[in-house]
Structure 1
Amino acid sequence: MKIAMIGTGYVGLVSGVCFAEFGFQVTCVDKNPAIIERLQAGEVTIYEPGLDELLLRNARDGRLVFTTDLETTVADADVIFIAVGTPSRRGDGEADLQYIYAAADEIAAAMKPGAVIVIKSTVVVGTNADVRARIGKARPGVAFSMVSNPEFLREGSAVEDFLRPDRVVVGVHDDAGAAAMKRVYRPLYLRETPMIVTTLENAEIIKYAANAFLAMKVTFINEVADLCEKTGGNVQDVARAIGMDNRIGSKFLHAGPGFGGSCFPKDTRAYAATGRKMNAPQTLIEQVVTINEQRKRSMATRVIEAAQKNGEKSVAVLGIAFKPNTDDIRESPALDIIPVLQKAGLAVRAHDPEARVAAEPVLPGVTWCKSAYEAVEGAGITVLLTEWNAYRALDLKRVANLMSGNLLFDLRNVYSAQDLDGTGLEYHSVGRPLVGKVS
């Protein structure tokens, strides 16, 4: 079986490499020749732990090829995955499907009879049916199967998620598509991975509903953190206790500055927009979107108020990526918080282990540093925004000595009272009573 992967962004590259690891012949296609040249040279174009090793091994063994030639690739492929971007559309928040339709048109012109076309990108309900009709109109009388196969990859652990998923969701409209996907994912059967075979529409809704629910959990615990701060509670104790309830679960109950990344923000907006369009308003998720945006602004306000109160003029920001173990800055809280700090007159020094290349062009005026310690040097305030391992065991006495001020905003609750003992830092966390100067 030959697989074509259209798109070498986050989903396409991880999926293509992992399918090659399963033993299939995989050709990854991208229109950007610069990206293909880098991949052909063995250079991974995204930061994802473990991906580089798999890419090099499968390319060396001849199972993984990169090209800009979509027509030739598709003409020889048995299964064609579409893994292009579906960003939020300006104005209404709906998913922008122009890249999906463009890829579908090119595939229709080149595919062989009996091909299985799989949309792996996150798309609103009804998209697979639309694409199926579009291809059928372009190639009347040519047999093909349409499949929806949404991904559930977490950035920073995407390789593990692909190779050892909780489940595989497959939406189909015929038996041939279902059979092909069972063959594609056959290596997972050895691990008894559940495969949910359902309709095209159900698969599309499952993806959005799953991400919306997880985003809701993040927003919920952030509001609990606000309540804890007003009442002297501790959000970490609350989260631990409610997370022990099997009906709730402990994941995504970590208070912070709001969610970001390539999925949650755009998917919640698109899910809410779909609800409005279908006259089935998803009001809970609409509130999640609103609260999350407010959350980012409120974090910036906390820092600004402390700076004004203490006469500080500079801030060190540790962590720009939306989460650790990725260089992805899409919708990262840092992209909202830093400009607000700058607008308030604060000079910003920043460090991130992987995200500087992506972030530097979109954050003008920031002074970029080679280490966390260089970033805090001379800063009146330090703000920990991303919980990279490199920031989990900082020498806080050294941090205090390097800073011109003594304010530490730990917006990920990385540290404890014991960690701050004897540092002289004025410590601010999220949803915990530990606020004030630790001697």
Structure 2
Amino acid sequence: MSSTPPLNGASRPPSRRTVLAGAAWSVPAIVAVTASPAAAASHQLVLTFERTSYAGPICETIDEVVATATMDGTPQAGVAVTVTLSDGYTFAGGATTATGTSDGNGRFAVPTIDVPNSGKSGTAAATASGATAGTTTLRSAYALFLSTANGALSMPAVFPDIPSTATPVGGYGLFVDGTDLWYVDRIIASGVSGVRANRSDTREYWSYFANGVATSSVGSNGTVIATETFSRVPATAEVGGSYGVFLDRNARQLWYRNTVWENSVSAVTAYTCFSNGARFDYACYAVQPPGGNTVFTLQRWKNGTGTGTFDNTTAPRDSVFERVPNLLSSGNGARLDWSDSTIAHNVTGVSGSLIVDWTEAISSYIESGVATSRHSADTVWTFPAVPASAKAVGSWATFLDGNDLWFNNAVAKTNVVSAVGDSFTSSGDSHISVIKKGC
């Protein structure tokens, strides 16, 4: 980290003595300054928008657009402002103009704008009699980030730079388009493969191969905090989860960062949590020694150091890992286990997320045709309105059926292509990344 040094060479204002000395010999100059026409106020009414651009989800709306009227920096009330839209952006009913009056703060709250199906950018222009016009850019977004709290969705964050062909991988603003990894508004890596990610609290953790080099990163809300590369991990390995976990299936070796952690490993899934200022990496893996029985092991690392293991001795030997460690399904969905407890039977479409450690998770699935979410092995919620054909996307009460994204027993978004979610509290507060398509 670096900080900006103080400006050592900045000029200082003259002392009172200097000013008075100058005034004694330069009275005509003072008169000339006070009478200069250039210093006079312009008295020009100026219209601007509060932002240089606004964006909304494709085929949805842009809200909170505000035009302002000022004169010499002072807000002007009572100004009749007309806003005109271009390139398919419209107001309710298809109108392309809307007129209103600025309030006591000089603000005109522009009516909700409908985003077209085209994916193109447009403009909004504000005009008024005798005023300098203002303009702003309107953009549509295929990539969204949804937050939920207390069973309700908030207004989405939108990422208009991310292409419609991208896929969410988990976390805020992380999407893959071909071999490009996007983070909010820019490509942060190219030549990538096997990206896996999750969000915990306000941080994202992700791992991938970049041009054959195993890599893991941590970021927060669009800012990359740190990146590590692991040169010893074979380029033929695959990403096991969110930070530092890789599996070389050819050698049956589990790698953690640059170290072979376990041998005779046939499968793994991993997830990272941020808690009390520390990073916790969790991996659940299957050890199948020659001629021996399969053992499912849960491993924890704190800030890169192994701090504990747990062997699951009750899960059936044909169990497969779901998205998070310690969540295993077996018998082609006949049984779902969390840790050493069986929590459901006859399940499909399973996904989940860890909350703060390996003892707490939100798992979601369809059980005997009913959409269900569960906190670890305890609290259960059901959502009977969700179609039985839906699949969980990872977070509480969130399911994708075709192109409909369901949340808490109602359709939250339509025209959804893909979605990945993470819950971060035991009550199900969640984050969900989405790619939409045109309507």
Q: Given the two structures, how large is their TM-score scaled by the length of structure 2?
A: 0.26
More helix by percentage? 1
Larger Rg: 2
More strand by percentage? 2
Q: Greater relative contact order: 1 or 2 (C-alpha under 8 angstroms, separation 6 or more)?
A: 1
Q: Given the two structures, how large is their TM-score scaled by the length of structure 1?
A: 0.26
